[in-house]
Structures are given as C-alpha cells and as structure tokens.
Amino acid sequence: MKELDIHSVTVNKWKAASASQTKVEQRPNLLKQDFSTTGLNQKWTADMTYIQTKRNGWCYLSTIMDLHSRRIIGYSFSKKMDTDLVLKALESAVKNRTITGDLIIHTDLGSQYTSDDYNQRLTELHIRHSYSRKGCPYDNAPMESFHASLKKECVYPVPVFKNYETAAAVLFEYVHAFYNRKRVLSPVKLTLIKTKTQFFLSDQIVVIFRHGLVISFSGNELIREVHYSSTNLFL
C-alpha cells in the first residue's frame, strides 16, 4: 500500500445517543415564544437563579410567573438546587391559584424540570409541560427578564448577603412587596423625598425590609444607597 501510495481512510466510530439525551431532545416546545394570553392561568413560566451568600455560599431561587399578569405566583428559596426546590415553587403557585382550564407551564431542560417527580406532579395537576430549546434563553424571555430585574435592583447593588436567612428575607420582600405590587404595574417616578427615617418616592412607593433595612427604587434602577439599622445584615 505504501509503494502504491494508498492510504487508509478512518471514520469516526458512530456512537448511539444515550436514552437521556434522546429523551431531552424530544421534549415539546408548546409555547414557541408565544407569550400572549387572554386570561390568568393559561401560561406559566418557571426558572431558577443563583444567589450568593457569604456564610452559606450559593443558594437558589425558583420562581413561577403567570404570563397574563406577569406576577410571580410561585416561589421557593433553598440551599440546594434539586427537584424539591422546583416542586416547592410549583406547590406555592398551585396554592395561590385555582386551575380550572388548560394550563401550560414552560421551563428549560434542567434536570430538575425533566425529572420524573416533577413531571408526575404536573400530570396529577393536569398541567401540560413545555420546554425551551437547548441553549435558547429567548424561549423563556419573560422569566429571563424578571431575573435580570431581580439581580439589577435587589442583588448587585448591595454587598454579598450575610447568610441564607438574610437573602431569603430580602428576596421575599422584593418579590411580594415591590415587584408584584408595584414593578409590574407601572414605572416609578424619579423624584425622591427624604423624611426623618424613611425614603419615599413621589408616587408613594416605599420599600422597608425587615430588620430595619430600607431600599429605595427609582424607575427601573435601584438607588444604590442602602440604609439599615444597627443590625448589620451584610457582614
């Protein structure tokens, strides 16, 4: 072969896709970036994000949004990123809403959302599961937008949270006292009025967190000053 200048041609060995890979690729994308609705409890979207703390390291927030109201209706915060985290967020949403019609919940392809336990619970609740395509965050754009607002307005402007408990308190207040009640309804005016002990915005929005922490919001921006009592939450 050498004398005749004949060379062998190698072909990469074919490798069958694993059952888990095939299973993930076949997950349906029912939403297809159609986020429109005509009423509540037609389309929900869910996702997780990382929150860093000094004492407990990374913690994990799981949220569910109703695409009609754009409010967060399900919520769970944990030191572990496991199936239990997303199941608790789901149960939280179910307790807050009455499911009467055809409901779709949209998630990414994370192992927590593709788990048998999670999908079994969805089946029990008669909720159809829709999945983002692999590597396509635009398929879950509303939830990506919420997490961007959360990080920009609540997480990044302050030092690393002291511990899990502190992060849990601040995140709870941000979601329920500010985002759901004010943020999704209308933008906040920019005029800031300072009183003796509190900061108020011109449209009467004030966010006072537990333990004396006060954070002021201005439009889409969080005013970078963070005022808190003698109890230092961010050591």
**Taking the complete model, does pTM exceed 0.75, yes or no?**
no
**Per-residue pLDDT reduced to its tens digit, 158-177:** 778 999 999 999 999 999 88
What is the residue-averaged pLDDT of the chain? Answer: 77
Whether the Cβ atoms of residue 75 and residue 62 lie closer than 8 Å to each other: yes
pLDDT for 158: 78
Residue 100's pLDDT band (boundaries 50, 70, 90)? confident
> In this structure, which CATH number among 1.10.10.60, 3.90.25.10, 3.30.420.10, 3.40.50.920 belongs to the domain 22-227?
3.30.420.10
Q: pLDDT tens digits for 119-143?
A: 999 999 999 999 999 999 999 999 9
For 211, the token pair is 């333990």
Give me 175's structure tokens: 């979601």
What is the rounded CA–CA span in Å between residue 187 and residue 230? 32
* pLDDT tens track for 6-43: 555 443 444 444 444 445 557 999 999 999 999 999 99
Closest by CA to 54, choosing from 128, 159, 157, is 159
Residue 105: which of 144, 77, 67 has the closest Cα? 67
